[in-house]
Amino acid sequence: MMITRTHLALLGLVALTLAAMALPFLLDGYWLRLATTIAMFAIVTCGLNVIVGFAGYHAFGNTVFFGCGAYALSIAMNAGWSFSASLPLALLAPMLLAGLLGWPLLRLKGHYFAIATVALNLAFAELVTQAGGFTGGANGIALPLSDLAPQIAYRRIYWMMVAVLAVCIAVTWWLSRHWLGTALRALKDNESGAEVMGIDTVSAKILAWMISAAMTGLAGGIWAYWITFIEPSSAFDPLIGVKAYIMMLIGGMGTIAGPLIGALLLELFGALIWAQFLDLHRLLLGCLIVATALALPGGIVPLVRRALRPARPAR
């Protein structure tokens, strides 16, 4: 059998996943927590990359799906469902939400779509706060604790995050080769042009947002189980979506490895630099956001790709 680039890429992904899976045996609690956070943000960024990087729809309020996944899982678990039975809900509920909202919202273009998702995120946070009842309202929800020893439970959560991340990267990679990915790229460049070419742009966009929501929601669900207490201000924190956006910019929009690289760099940087200055944490994050947008609007992956490409002979 011929070994193609496809096989190599798959092999690389499997090897990387296995290596990441072995990490908990080497890391102590602090670094394991950091590694889990990196994997979580990489998933959220992967989800954002599908709708922003591929389809060109700048969803600044994608946190709404993170919160939706977290709440779906928490409500189900408090109703007596097991974790494994509730986790699919963290995928399905945001997907359904994206499908329902995508139909009206994805008709908006550019700024209008971006700002509508911001409003959606804020409205949902408010809605859950006011709803009370089974959502716990402003008081939040505590999740049933796992029977496992904390150390083992944390390891499992990390493995879950890594597994989901590997699937997300595989899905992004598949998408980049599939007709849907091509359709999305076409509509990103020129939507009416893509329509003329016979692409069903409405379905393609909605499908992309649903995939994006499913990824983001899963991360939110596992996150809720991990921290065992959620409230509207933490689950729907707009900063989650904005951080993911920055990670996508750092890594490279529309690339496959970009989200992972961006999440790794930003979180590691955060842990090393601003853990020293707790009061200044958000201030430094703001500076970093501005600096990234000014200095690296294209991202690292395209930069590296350009550097690796052999120089063209002069003509």
Given the rule CB under 8 A, which residues bind other proteins?
A: 58, 60, 104-105, 107-112, 114-116, 118-120, 122-123, 126-127, 129-130, 242, 245-246, 249, 279-280, 282-283, 285-290, 293-294, 297-298
Minimum distance, C-beta of residue 124 to other proteins, in the bound complex (Å): 9
* Residue entry with tokens 């930003």: 266
Smallest distance from other proteins to CB 165, Å: 23
Residue 112 has φ and ψ, to the nearest 5°, of -65, -40
Rounded Cα gap, residues 244 and 62, in angstroms? 9
**Nearest to other proteins of 87, 267 (CB atom):** 267
Tally Cβ neighbours within 10 Å of residue 284. Answer: 16
Helices 201-227 and 29-48: crossing angle, nearest 10°?
A: 160
Residue with tokens 């290596």: 19
Nearest to other proteins of 52, 166 (CB atom) = 52
CB of 160 to other proteins, least distance (A): 29
Q: CB 54 → other proteins: shortest distance, Å?
A: 15
In whole angstroms, how close is the CB of 126 to other proteins at the nearest point?
5
Taken as a whole, the chain contains a residue count of 315
State the minimum distance, in angstroms, from the CB of residue 26 to other proteins.
34
d(CA 233, CA 227): 14
Instruction: Yes or no: say if 235 and 67 are a contact pair by the CB < 8 Å rule.
Output: yes
Q: CB of 77: closest distance to other proteins in angstroms?
A: 26
Tokens of 261: 């690289």
What single letter denotes the amino acid at residue 289?
A: I
User: Residue 153 or residue 289: which is nearer to other proteins going by CB?
Assistant: 289
User: Given the complex with other proteins, which of 70 and 253 has the nearer CB atom?
Assistant: 253
Nearer to other proteins, 36 or 135 (CB): 135
Q: How far is the CB of 16 from other proteins (least distance, A)?
A: 28
Instruction: Work out the number of other CB atoms within 10 angstroms of the CB of residue 119.
Output: 13
Nearest to 240 by CA among 66, 108, 38, 54: 66
Nearer to other proteins among residue 186 and residue 288 (C-beta): 288
Rounded distance between C-alpha atoms, residue 68 and residue 100, angstroms: 14
Question: Alpha-carbon distance 67 to 62, whole Å?
Answer: 9
* CA angle in degrees (0–180, nearest 5) for 91-227-137: 75
CB closer to other proteins, 275 vs 293 = 293
Nearer to other proteins, 15 or 127 (CB): 127
Query: Tokens 């944390």 correspond to what residue?
Result: 154
